[in-house]
């Protein structure tokens, strides 16, 4: 293994490092075995983040007793002093160490970078932790050229992490400027976090992965970055290749789109990202809608649901928009419950080859089609543009010439209706 000096930090690290995103998908025993292999291969640089769910904890458990064999880097999306101080302590505890070699500001915008450096900003906590010996060096990760360029002007930035690979080849001049200044450069995910074994496949479909990642950004914006989700999408893409059967008459793009979207939703569910207040309001809206549907024998109007909840129609529309993505997860869980209950696995290609499962799958698709047909015209259009054309809420708003919040309301209402329709089918009531 070749070793290099990471800029002015003076840290001697392996040319190839270990990224902490994929380790989220294994258990503690597998993580320990993985770090054994990492050490045996001579890799000593480990990069993780507070935002990578259990990554820090798994790495901390795996390297306990051999901390001195590795250079540890992690990062936080905290922008203020209090939040950063709290995250540093959490990272130390998770990684089971009394010091972290490199602590980074995780993907700030230009505005957020100003906040980090302002009085009361995250930089104060970093400097305090550095003075106390809790962290050795400070750096920054960037996903835009503008932030990269600004970071080069900041004297506290000792390292910069930035994406550079066969797909994203921008920033070469800035990398050279970093080298001249002695700022260590860390290449972010040069081959999608190690997930790509077939580079031709990745190049062909990376546009599709990015499109879906951007479309569902509202699902993960609070806990992950677009590049992280693209990695999840690439993993789903690679896995989909083995399970795709062209003889079934389904386009690969359609098949893999569902897989990628499912991977993001699964990640969101594991994160439990939806605020409790939003979940509560979504449950209240669902309960009121179900009760009224049973009483009236039809979908209740917005006014009827608002009256049942005892709130104004304006407040109802606001709550409905907020619960839009929560409803996506809830609709997905209906099918998941059916699968776990011994019913049809709609994503299993092998099951389609069995006649009885083919019939069940067709029945499910017919029922869902009937449910969509029962929606209002504008609701059908939003569902089609969002799920079939992979447009974002913003793009749909432009197409339909209405506001983005209005599209969220229409989308949420459509999904709510489909939930009611599919629940009746799943419960054998239709």
Domains of the chain: 3-190 (3.20.20.100), 199-271 (1.10.1740.10), 276-426 (1.20.140.160)
Give the least confident one: 89-103, 118-132, 191-205: 191-205
**Closest Cα to residue 26, out of 49, 59, 50?**
59
* Model pLDDT for residues 166-176, shown as the tens digit of each residue: 555 678 889 99
- What's the pLDDT at 344? 36
Work out the pLDDT band at 193, boundaries 50, 70, 90.
very low
- Span 338-345, mean pLDDT? 40
Higher-pLDDT residue of 408, 190: 408
Higher-pLDDT residue of 278, 185: 185
CA–CA dist 187, 164 (Å, integer): 6
Work out the pLDDT band at 300, boundaries 50, 70, 90.
confident
Mean pLDDT rounded to a whole number for the chain: 79
CA–CA dist 362, 360 (Å, integer): 5
Contact call for residues 170 and 145 (beta carbons, < 8 A): yes
- What's the pLDDT at 291? 84
- What's the pLDDT at 297? 76
- What's the pLDDT at 169? 61
CA–CA dist 372, 418 (Å, integer): 7
CB-based contacts of 367-371 (< 8 A; 24+ apart in sequence): 367/421, 367/422, 367/425, 367/430, 368/418, 368/422, 370/421, 371/417, 371/418, 371/421, 371/422
- Span 45-64, mean pLDDT? 92
Work out the pLDDT band at 350, boundaries 50, 70, 90.
very low
Decide if pLDDT at 308 tops 50. yes
Give the least confident one: 99-103, 191-195, 265-269, 283-287: 191-195
- What's the pLDDT at 414? 83
CA–CA dist 354, 133 (Å, integer): 62
- What's the pLDDT at 33? 94
* Model pLDDT for residues 65-114, shown as the tens digit of each residue: 999 999 999 999 999 999 999 999 999 999 999 999 999 999 899 999 99
Tell me the pairing of strands 184-188 and 159-163.
Answer: parallel
pLDDT more than 70, % of the chain: 70
Most confident of 51-60, 65-74, 183-192, 295-304: 65-74
Decide if pLDDT at 348 tops 50. no
């Amino acid at each position: 293994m070749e070793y290099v000096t990471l800029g002015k930090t003076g840290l001697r690290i392996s040319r190839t490092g270990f990224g902490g995103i994929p380790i989220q998908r294994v258990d503690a025993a597998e993580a320990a075995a993985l770090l054994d292999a990492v050490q045996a291969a001579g890799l000593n640089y480990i990069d993780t983040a507070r935002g990578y769910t259990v990554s820090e904890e798994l790495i901390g458990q795996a390297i306990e007793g051999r901390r001195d064999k590795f250079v540890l880097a992690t990062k936080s999306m905290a922008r203020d002093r209090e939040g950063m101080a709290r995250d540093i302590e959490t990272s130390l505890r998770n990684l089971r160490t009394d010091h972290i070699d490199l602590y980074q500001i995780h993907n700030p915008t230009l505005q957020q970078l100003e906040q980090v450096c302002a009085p009361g900003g995250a930089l104060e906590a970093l400097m305090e932790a550095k003075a106390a010996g809790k962290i050795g060096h400070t750096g920054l990760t960037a996903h835009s050229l503008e932030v990269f360029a600004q970071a080069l002007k900041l004297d506290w930035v000792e390292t910069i992490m930035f994406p550079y690979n066969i797909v994203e080849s921008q920033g070469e001049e800035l990398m050279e400027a970093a080298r001249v200044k002695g700022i260590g450069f860390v290449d972010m995910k040069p081959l999608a976090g190690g997930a790509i074994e077939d580079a031709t496949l990745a190049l062909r479909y990376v546009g599709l992965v990015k499109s879906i990642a951007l479309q569902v950004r509202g699902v993960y914006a609070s806990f992950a970055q677009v590049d992280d989700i693209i990695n999840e999408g690439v993993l789903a893409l690679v896995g989909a290749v083995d399970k795709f059967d062209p003889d079934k008459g389904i386009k690969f793009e359609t098949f893999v789109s569902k897989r990628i979207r499912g991977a993001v939703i699964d990640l969101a569910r594991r994160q439990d990202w939806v605020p409790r207040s939003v979940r509560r309001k979504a449950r209240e809206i669902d309960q009121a809608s179900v009760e009224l549907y049973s009483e009236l024998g039809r979908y209740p109007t917005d006014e009827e649901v608002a009256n049942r909840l005892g709130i104004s129609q304006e407040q109802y529309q606001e709550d409905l928009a907020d619960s839009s993505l929560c409803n996506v997860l809830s609709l997905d869980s209906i099918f998941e419950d059916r699968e776990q209950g011994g019913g049809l696995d709609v994503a299993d290609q092998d099951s389609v080859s069995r006649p009885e499962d083919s019939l069940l799958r067709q029945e499910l698709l017919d029922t869902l089609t009937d449910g969509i047909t029962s929606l209002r015209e504008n609701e059908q259009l939003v569902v089609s543009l969002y799920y079939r054309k992979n447009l974002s809420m913003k793009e749909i708003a432009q197409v339909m010439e209405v506001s983005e919040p209005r599209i969220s309301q229409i989308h949420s209402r459509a999904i709510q209706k489909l939930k009611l329709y599919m629940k009746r089918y799943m419960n054998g009531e239709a």
